[in-house]
């Protein structure tokens, strides 16, 4: 449920309502809005004594939330959430592009690719130091050594880094290096991990599970927000269906649906959706047209030598072309790649 305060409610009135809700045994999440403060009540599996709350000074109304997710829904926050990562605004009017290799393979490799994607106009750098693989014999990542290389690439280029965290035991280590903690598709319903990253207060990029519904994606995000971390970015990366022509079926319809249901920003990952280099750009253009707030793209200067996902990685020149395409499609729907960095990044 939501407690909507009057626009002129005092801080003292807001505090009294919060104390009352906590006395009833529930949790509160305060959201200052453009006009008034809203207080979300969670942990209530039965009706709260609404009549008591409505009698408090400063309370406008008490609204029942019908969706199973509370904090990620538009009922809680009608305005779009904008996540700030080192001055890059994700979820605002501009479009954001995250780019880099699937995995960090060496110091030279990540530094080279970071410079290439920076030059092409990328806003953040991606790269896996920990890699969840289907086979235990596949390359598992360089782990902390890879994190150190990513941090060096950030210092050289000024690009904030996005990298995956695989389990609760690695959250603290990855948080020391990363600007955004990525939760991969295989971990979307790892609820212990979701709660752990929710306590870090670091921005989180949450990928949709390969067999997950949109409702399940939003409920996974709810775990993170319920721990007090409201800096969550959703990501559509394709789902597993009966179709085998592509690696996954890219759910373009997810973008307008998520935008209708939730205030959280959502990015598109056409690289994992397609699994093929030639299909990445068409899917990326479709995602932007459908309402995605940006892209996360795999780029490699020598994909034939890549230790992970080489066939779906764009060459640097292909990435440059995609950046131009993204700007053109964005312009057609009133969104651009520029004007999203509001403060200087690190030199």
**pLDDT for the residue numbered 129:** 94
**pLDDT for the residue numbered 208:** 98
Q: Tens digit of pLDDT per residue, the chain (347 long)?
A: 888 888 899 999 999 999 988 888 888 888 777 678 888 888 755 555 555 788 899 988 888 777 888 899 998 888 999 999 999 999 999 999 999 999 999 999 999 999 999 999 999 999 999 977 677 767 778 999 999 999 999 999 999 999 999 999 999 999 999 999 999 999 999 999 999 999 998 999 999 999 999 999 999 999 999 999 999 999 999 999 999 999 999 999 999 999 999 999 999 999 999 999 999 999 999 999 999 999 999 999 999 999 988 999 999 999 999 999 999 999 999 998 864 443 343 43
Q: What is the pTM of this model?
A: 0.88
123 domain-assigned: yes
Are both 100 and 7 inside the same structural domain? Answer: no
Are both 131 and 223 inside the same structural domain? Answer: yes
Are both 183 and 262 inside the same structural domain? Answer: yes
Are both 280 and 149 inside the same structural domain? Answer: yes
Are both 54 and 87 inside the same structural domain? Answer: no
Domain with 20 in it: 2-63
Are both 226 and 283 inside the same structural domain? Answer: yes
341 domain-assigned: no
Are both 96 and 126 inside the same structural domain? Answer: yes
The 3 state secondary structure assigned to 115-173 is: HHHHHHCCCEEECECCCCCCCCCCCCCCCHHHHHHHHHHHHHHCCCEEEECCCHHHHHH
Task: Report the CATH number that the domain containing residue 131 is assigned in CATH.
Answer: 3.20.20.70
Residue 266: closest CA among 18, 151, 68, 98: 98
CA distance 226 to 185: 20
CA distance 172 to 195: 13
Are both 95 and 176 inside the same structural domain? Answer: yes
Are both 133 and 55 inside the same structural domain? Answer: no
Are both 146 and 241 inside the same structural domain? Answer: yes
Are both 54 and 116 inside the same structural domain? Answer: no
91 domain-assigned: yes
Are both 172 and 233 inside the same structural domain? Answer: yes
The total of other beta-carbon atoms located within 10 Å of residue 338's CB is 10
68 domain-assigned: no
The count of structural domains within the chain is 2
**pLDDT for the residue numbered 68:** 84
């Amino acid at each position: 449920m939501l407690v909507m305060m009057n626009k002129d409610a005092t801080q003292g009135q807001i505090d009294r309502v919060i104390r009352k809700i906590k006395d009833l045994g529930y949790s509160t999440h305060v959201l200052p809005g453009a006009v008034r403060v809203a207080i979300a009540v969670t942990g209530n599996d039965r009706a709260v004594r609404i009549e008591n709350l409505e009698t408090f000074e400063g309370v406008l109304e008490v609204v029942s939330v019908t969706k199973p997710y509370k904090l990620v829904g538009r009922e809680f926050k009608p305005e779009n959430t904008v996540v700030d990562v080192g001055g890059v605004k994700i979820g605002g009017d501009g479009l954001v592009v995250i780019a880099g290799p699937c995995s960090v393979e060496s110091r030279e490799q990540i530094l080279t690719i970071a410079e290439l994607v920076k030059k092409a106009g990328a806003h953040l750098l991606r790269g896996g130091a920990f890699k969840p693989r289907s086979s235990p014999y596949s390359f598992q990542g360089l782990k902390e050594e890879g994190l150190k290389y990513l941090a060096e690439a950030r210092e050289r280029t000024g690009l904030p880094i996005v990298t995956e965290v695989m389990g609760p035991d690695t959250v603290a280590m990855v948080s020391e290096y990363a600007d955004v903690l990525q939760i991969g598709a295989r971990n979307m319903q790892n609820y212990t991990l979701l709660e752990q990253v929710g306590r870090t207060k670091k921005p989180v990029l949450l990928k949709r599970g390969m067999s997950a519904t949109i409702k399940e994606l939003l409920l996974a995000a709810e775990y993170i927000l319920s721990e007090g971390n409201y800096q969550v970015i959703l990501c559509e990366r394709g789902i597993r269906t009966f179709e085998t022509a592509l690696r996954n079926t890219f759910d373009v319809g997810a973008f307008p649906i998520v935008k209708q249901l939730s205030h959280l920003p959502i990015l598109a990952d056409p690289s994992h959706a397609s699994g093929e280099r030639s299909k990445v750009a068409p899917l990326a253009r479709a995602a932007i047209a459908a309402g995605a707030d940006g892209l996360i793209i795999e780029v490699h200067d020598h994909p034939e030598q890549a230790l992970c996902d080489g066939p779906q990685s764009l060459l640097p020149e292909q990435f440059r072309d995609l950046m131009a395409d993204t700007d053109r499609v964005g312009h057609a729907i009133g969104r651009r790649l520029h004007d999203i960095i509001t403060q200087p990044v690190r030199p």
